[in-house]
A and B are shown apart, each in its own frame.
Chain A
Amino acid sequence: VSRIVGIGLDVVDLRRFARLLERHGPAALRRICRDGEVRIAEGPGRIAHVAGLFAAKEATMKALGLVEDPCDWRHIEVLRSPSGACDLALHGRVREAATRLGAESFALSLSHEGDYATAVVITTIHETTP
């Protein structure tokens, strides 16, 4: 059976996030995203896309109990399957934290509505029943 060991939720205001990207441009993207992670290069959907990635990374840190000890956002990678489903790949210190927690699988859900992007991450471990 699976048991939930962590849950994280994050909401990003797209207007504030747009200002962050305007102010810091490529530097902001380099600090938040891994190479190839940003799939929308230009256009109005780009801000919502990157804000969703950021929300997913913040939600992952919360689910892993890293709020008081945040990590490099680039150590959390948001993957997309051809069907559009989201998944996570963890690297570096975030992966170590997940291992310590015993987290074996992750569920990520992203949503955009109006001026907000949201993400929920649930981490689970698998237990065998006696």
Chain B
Amino acid sequence: MTDSTTAARTDSIRRILKEHGRLSVNAAELADDADLYQAGMTSHASVNVMLALEGEFDVEFPDHMLRRGVFESVSAIRSAIDELVRG
């Protein structure tokens, strides 16, 4: 995977977090490893985030990935998306 692919995915994840995450801080300024739940994301908002990610990347999170840790940071989400896109 190229650096540009990683950057594009990260930008998409941050845009989705900004639109759906209901964070108390600007998603664009969050550190990659910042805790999204501490930043205000609720379980209900995480449903919106998950559905938006599935639509954006044309993937579906399987049951074993529906864990808090998968959605707790930008980098964790990116790792999950990378895994799902690879198949």
- Give B56 Cβ to nearest chain A Cβ, in Å: 12
Binds A, one of B3-11, B28-36, B46-54, B79-87: B46-54
How many positions in chain B have a CB within 8 Å of any CB in the partner chain?
13
Tell me whether B55 and A27 are in contact (CB under 8 A): yes
Q: Which of A13, A67, A71 contacts B63 (CB 8 A)?
A: A71
Tell me whether A69 and B51 are in contact (CB under 8 A): no
- Give A34 Cβ to nearest chain B Cβ, in Å: 13
Q: Which A1-58 residues sit within 8 Å CB-CB of chain B?
A: 12-13, 16-17, 20, 23-24, 27-28, 31-32, 58
CA distance A28 to B44 in the complex (A): 12
Q: Does B1 contact A (CB under 8 A)?
A: no
Q: Which of A17, A20, A72 contacts B66 (CB 8 A)?
A: A72
Tell me whether B67 and A31 are in contact (CB under 8 A): no
CA distance A71 to B63 in the complex (A): 6
How many contacts between A and B, using CB within 8 angstroms? 42
Q: Does A93 contact B (CB under 8 A)?
A: yes
Q: Does A68 contact B (CB under 8 A)?
A: yes
How many positions in chain A have a CB within 8 Å of any CB in the partner chain?
21
- What is the interface of chain B mostly: helix, strand, loop, or mixed? helix
CA distance A17 to B44 in the complex (A): 9
Tell me whether A12 and B68 are in contact (CB under 8 A): no
27 of the cross-chain contacts (CB-CB < 8 Å) are: A12-B44, A13-B44, A16-B44, A20-B44, A20-B48, A20-B51, A24-B51, A24-B52, A27-B51, A27-B54, A28-B47, A28-B51, A31-B50, A31-B54, A32-B47, A58-B43, A67-B43, A67-B68, A69-B67, A70-B43, A70-B66, A70-B67, A72-B63, A72-B66, A75-B63, A92-B63, A93-B63
- Chain A residues near B (Cβ < 8 Å): 12-13, 16-17, 20, 23-24, 27-28, 31-32, 58, 67-72, 75, 92-93
- Chain B residues near A (Cβ < 8 Å): 43-44, 47-48, 50-52, 54-55, 63, 66-68
Which 6 A-B pairs have CB atoms at the shortest separation, nearest pair first?
A72-B63, A24-B51, A68-B68, A72-B66, A20-B48, A70-B66
